[in-house]
Amino acid sequence: MLPGNNWGDESPWISQVATLLSNNAPSVTVLLNGGEISFEDAFSSVNAGRLVVVIAGSGRTADILADALRGQATDERAKKLAKSGKLQYIDLIDIEKGVENLGEIIKGLLSN
């Protein structure tokens, strides 16, 4: 249903749909674990001006981005995303205290 033939071609479209659905209300992208395509998803959200909440400790791309936010970047894409000012991370251990905690944390981030 979307243009493109490759896995990941949908990334900008997902971001555009999220922007339309938000109807100018604040919105976030939550990145949990993730692979190579998750970098594209994060860039699409950042380019749309959307905050990306990275769940640190969930593995792979999320941990690479959390490390970049901590100043321990090993990946150029992660460095660029971290410099955008549109990434925040939440430690998985904080979420494990209760899923409602994640909602409260995100509400706090959106109100800033």
Is residue 11 one of the residues assigned to a domain?
no
Residue 51 corresponds to which amino acid? L
State the residue range of the domain holding 74: 26-111
Determine how many CB atoms are found less than 10 A away from the CB of residue 58: 18
Is residue 20 one of the residues assigned to a domain?
no
Residue from 46, 55, 58, 54 nearest 18 by CA? 46
57-109: pLDDT as tens digits: 999 999 999 999 999 988 999 999 999 999 999 898 877 776 667 777 788 87
Question: For residue 90, which phi and psi values (nearest 5 degrees)?
Answer: -125, 135
Highest-confidence segment of 16-20, 24-28, 67-71, 102-106:
67-71
Is residue 14 one of the residues assigned to a domain?
no
Average pLDDT, the chain: 88
pLDDT band (50, 70, 90) for residue 2: low
Give residue 29's pLDDT: 94
pTM of the predicted model as reported, rounded to 2 decimal places: 0.86
The residue-averaged pLDDT of 42-49 equals 95
Residue from 81, 29, 87, 34 nearest 58 by CA? 34
Is residue 36 one of the residues assigned to a domain?
yes
Is residue 74 one of the residues assigned to a domain?
yes
Q: How many domains are contained in the chain? A: 1
Give residue 1's pLDDT: 64
Is residue 30 one of the residues assigned to a domain?
yes
Does position 44 have pLDDT exceeding 90, yes or no?
yes
Q: E-assigned strands of 17-112?
A: 28-32, 51-56, 87-91
Handedness of CA 90, 23, 42, 34 (dihedral sign): positive
Give residue 26's pLDDT: 87
Given a contact cutoff of 8 angstroms between Cβ atoms, the answer to whether 41 and 14 are in contact is yes
Is residue 51 one of the residues assigned to a domain?
yes
